[in-house]
Copies of this chain bind each other. A is one copy, B any other.
Amino acid sequence: MALNVVVLVGGVGGAKLAFGLARILPPEHLTIIVNTADDFWLYGLRICPDLDTILYTLSGLVDRTNGWGVGGDTTIALDALRRYGEETWFRLGDQDIATHLLRTGWLRDGERLTTIVARLSAALGVRQTILPMTDDPVATMVTTAEYGEIGFQTYFVRYRWQPVVTGLRFEGIERAAMTPEVQAALERADIILLGPSNPWLSIDPILAVPGLRALLIARPVPRVAVTPIVGGRALKGPAAKLMVELGYEPSPEAVVRHYGEAINGFVYDRSDGFLSLPLAHVAAFETIMKFDNDKIYLAQTVLEWIKSWVSLQV
């Protein structure tokens, strides 16, 4: 019998691990719980960047250079928006717009985001379960030295995460409900992974859904995070810069301390040498996932290692 694996992810980094896991696990045994605090409205469209990255990655549609968006997509609508005098700092691909249109139409019809993601997944032949962390709107708000408090996409895309971050909050998180699907997935998980996503921007919103972190901590199963920090730098995006700005050393240790009780195992990169981390289960692997083989290798290695230290039956 295969184990049930749940992985918590943000966008591109987490998608790589999810891709690797999807290649080695039966689809019905893999559930990906995705950050939705980056979701936002643009021109009346509800855009869910992390969900789409996972959806496109698992369906094979993803742009393999960027790691997000649809491969070979055009920007004809975006160019027409520019003709109207719009600032077009968020790249809306034409194929991508189809996803946003469907989702927005269905949301308008009163459908849950969870159901919508399931419909999109089914239509694209994705058999793994992709779950938004909640059906309720949550918005990461970033306090910056330069612009005061701004929305996540403004910080991340418009200003290319260059502003100095002095604080973060997840607007609406206290009213966000854990979905029955997320709860069931966590309750029946044999292994829970936290992807190499940004702990503060991608994983924290998931853990902040009321009851979710407590449920995680209560589960007597391996709960293993994969480091997003290698050699004091982030593999991608603002994780390391953000950690410094928030007063942390950009190191695996700081990530482990930040996750606290939520994890009982940690995987860091071999290139960081020996690290003494305050956890019973720690391993150093090749964590940088450049090619598909790297993703499959890491997924396989992490799962094998976890199975070895908990002596689980496969």
Chain A interface residues (CB < 8 Å from chain B): 41-46, 70, 73-74, 76-81, 83-86, 94-99, 101-102, 104-105, 107-108, 120, 123-124
A43 to B94, Cβ gap below 8 A?
no
Bound together, the chains give a CA A76 to CA B108 distance in angstroms of 23
Once bound together, how far apart are the Cα atoms of A94 and B107, in whole Å? 22
* Nearest chain B CB to A114 CB, angstrom units: 17
A181, chain B: closest CB distance, angstroms? 21
Q: Let me know if B74 and A105 touch, CB within 8 A.
A: no
In the assembled complex, the Cα of A95 lies from the Cα of B95 at a distance in Å of 13
Instruction: Judge whether A80 and B107 touch: CB under 8 Å.
Output: no
Find out whether the CB atom of B101 lies under 8 angstroms from the CB atom of A45.
yes
Q: Which 5 A-B pairs have the closest CB atoms?
A: A80-B98, A44-B104, A43-B101, A43-B105, A76-B94
Q: In the complex, what distance in Å separates the CA atom of A97 from the CA atom of B93?
A: 12
- Min Cβ gap A174→B in Å is 25
Inter-chain contact B85/A101, CB cutoff 8 Å = no
Whether the Cβ atoms of A44 and B123 lie closer than 8 Å is: no
Closest chain B residue to A46 by CB distance? Answer: B44
Q: Are B44 and A108 in contact (CB under 8 A)?
A: yes
With the chains together, A44 CA to B255 CA distance in Å?
40
Q: Residue on B with the closest CB to A105? A: B43
- The docked-state distance in angstroms from the alpha carbon of A46 to that of B45 is 11
A168-B57 Cα distance, complex, nearest whole Å: 48
Contacting pair B41 A108 (CB below 8 A): yes
Contact A94 B120 (CB under 8 A): no
Q: Please, which residues of chain B bring their CB within 8 A of the CB of A73?
A: 76
Q: In the complex, are the beta carbons of B94 and A77 less than 8 A apart?
A: yes
When C-beta atoms are compared, the residue in chain B nearest to A78 turns out to be B98
Q: A85 vs B102: C-alpha distance in the bound complex, in angstroms?
A: 11
The residue of chain B having its C-beta at the shortest distance from the C-beta of A94 within the complex is B76
Residue of B with least CB distance to A74 = B76
Query: 17 additional contacts, CB 8 Å, given A77-B101, A79-B98, A80-B99?
Result: A41-B105, A41-B108, A42-B105, A44-B105, A73-B76, A76-B76, A76-B94, A77-B95, A77-B97, A79-B95, A80-B97, A81-B98, A83-B98, A83-B123, A84-B99, A84-B123, A85-B123
Q: How far is the CA of A102 from the CA of B85 in the complex (A)?
A: 11
Does the CB pair B44–A107 fall under 8 Å?
yes
